[in-house]
Structure 1
Amino acid sequence: MIGPLVNGAALIAGSAAGALLGPKLSLNLRVKMPMVFGCASMGLGVAMIVKVKFLAPVVLALVVGSVLGELIQLESLIQKGAGKTRKVIDKIVRPTGDLSQEEFLDKFVALLVLFCLSGTGIYGAMSEGMTGDPTLLIVKAILDLFTAPIFASTMGLSVGILVIPQLTVQALLYYLSSLILPLTTPDMLADFSACGGLIMLATGFRICGIKQFPVAGMIPALLLVMPLSALWVRLF
């Protein structure tokens, strides 16, 4: 399991560098670069959406998954965890950036999706599990190595905590891929990609501050989209 470990190491290294260099980075760089990464997230989302095979089950998964996410208050639970993490880190090192608590929590949720649930990370982990090739995750590690410092410059070492869910998700997909992929079809994977793309698109809007989509609450849709896609094929 090379890719998940390399990606995790890159996220930790980038977060540490950003937290240390934060005050030395120009204000323009700290403010404007997240807009660039948000734009990249939207572009990646669009590229994933166009792979859709059956739009109806993708939309249904997104709607039902979002409803479930709101019912269990998934985003609120993540925000509470992020708030506690920030308090603990603030007690150990200097305060984590100059963001208000509300701004910090909004960005933390968006980064959770960006770093831990992006299409590159999901497919990269599954691909390495099946083929042993870690190339996709190494590419993602390079991107994260440059993305993490910009956000850590204003959010501090808390960004590095995201390595825990990131490594957990990628490791699970790595070990389960040999069981999951044989049960899927190209159409199911295409619809899964499209659903993830919609969430990535919403994440980009949120990072750029255009619209505060409840991206964490949309995560359950990823668990529903492939079963619904398979059911759609059988029924229609």
Structure 2
Amino acid sequence: MIPTGSLVNGAAIIGGSIIGILLHSRFPERIREIIFQSLGLGVILIGIQMSLKVQDILILIFSLLIGGVIGELLRLDTIFEKLAGKLKKAVGSKDTGFVDGMITASLIFCIGAMAIIGSFEEGIKGDATVLYTKSILDGFAAIALASSYGLGVLFSFIPVVIYQGSLTIFASVFQEWFSPLIIAQLTATGGLLIIGISLTLLDIKRINLANLLPSLGVVIILTAFLN
């Protein structure tokens, strides 16, 4: 199965990033600041809405704890930074915000209800409407992010396509495994991580979200095993 929705999403991120890079010098600092504040407030609302879909809060908490420990032991944050650094070197970029831009944008675009549910919808039903809608939103978000972080945001399309495409293919193969309960728990866990992103965007607290990513896999396993 070809993950068409994810490919379109990646193209939208590339297009939005190019526009943001071209507009970079034309955005005063105060405009970039208000854009990030607006994004932060919007993202925190999305995160709250997603997290309220939780069905078993104890499983969610344990998933975050176990996933966080796994992420720390694997040092996922360091791995992601090294990969982004190698990509920066490969493309010959001297942009100081390349690594931060790529990681921040990747987390924003990947961890969300639309990324998870949209990929499952395409994989299970063959309907990519949610991912097409997400593509439009991500394209505009990429403009704002790239205007501040630069070229790194453009290359966030790589993890987005890989992540969402993998979910789509996985869901198409194992669709009978994904009950409404598992999807709700997965969405709620993603919602809490989304709130973590908003805290970073609002410059309140930088949370090591990269090392919390395994919790998305742990919540699926725990929910399926305990229910």
What's the TM-score once normalised by structure 2's chain length?
0.92
CA RMSD of aligned residues (A): 1.7
Deviation at 1:38, TM superposition (A): 1.8
Match of 1:148 among 142, 149, 166: 142
Please name the residue that 2:33 is paired with. 31
Partner of 2:81 in structure 1? Answer: 79
Residues 168, 6 of structure 1: alpha-carbon distance in 2 compared, 3 angstrom cutoff: same
List aligned pairs for 1:24-103, cutoff 5 A: 24-89=26-91, 91=92, 95-96=94-95
- Could you say which residue in structure 2 is the equivalent of 1:130? 124
Structure 2: distance between partners of 1:131 and 1:184 = 13
Residue deviations 1:53-101, cap 9 Å, x none? 1111111011000011011110111122223333444x36xx43xxx56
Aligned residue pairs total 225
2:160 is aligned to 166
Alpha-carbon distance in 1 for matches of 2:178, 2:8? 27
The 8 Å contact of residues 65 and 221 in structure 1, kept in 2 or not, is answered as yes
Q: String of CA shifts for 1:125-183, please: whole Å, max 9, x gaps.
A: 11012222211111111111111111111222211111111101111111221233311
Report the AA paired with residue 217 of structure 1.
Answer: N
Cα contact 1:107–1:207 (8 A) shared by 2? no
CA distance in 2, matches of 1:46, 1:137: 21
Aligned-partner Cα distance in 2 for 1:230–1:129: 19
Q: What is the identity, as a one-letter code, of the residue corresponding to 1:153?
A: S
Partner SS state of residue 211, structure 1: coil
**In 1, distance between residues paired with 2:43 and 2:158?**
21
Structure 1 residues 9-51: Cα deviation after superposition (integer angstroms, max 9, x where no partner): 1000011111111101232221221121122221111111111
Q: Is the 8 A contact 2:101 2:146 kept in 1?
A: no
- What is the deviation of 1:107? 4.8
Which amino acid in structure 2 is aligned with residue 189 of structure 1? I
1:4 and 1:207 map into 2 onto residues whose CA distance is 25
Q: Is 1:196 aligned to 2:190, yes or no? A: yes
- In structure 1, C-alpha distance between the alignment counterparts of 2:195 and 2:221, rounded to whole Å: 22
Percent of pairs with identical residues: 32
- Distance in structure 1 (CA, Å) of the matches to 2:197 and 2:136: 20
Name stretches of at least 5 consecutive residues in structure 1 with no aligned partner.
none
Aligned partner of 1:182 in structure 2 is 176
Contact 2:100–2:152 (Cα < 8 Å) also in 1: no
- In structure 2, do the counterparts of structure 1 residues 87 and 29 end up closer, same or farther at CA, with 3 Å as the change threshold? farther
CA distance in 2, matches of 1:132, 1:113: 25
TM-score (normalised: structure 1): 0.89
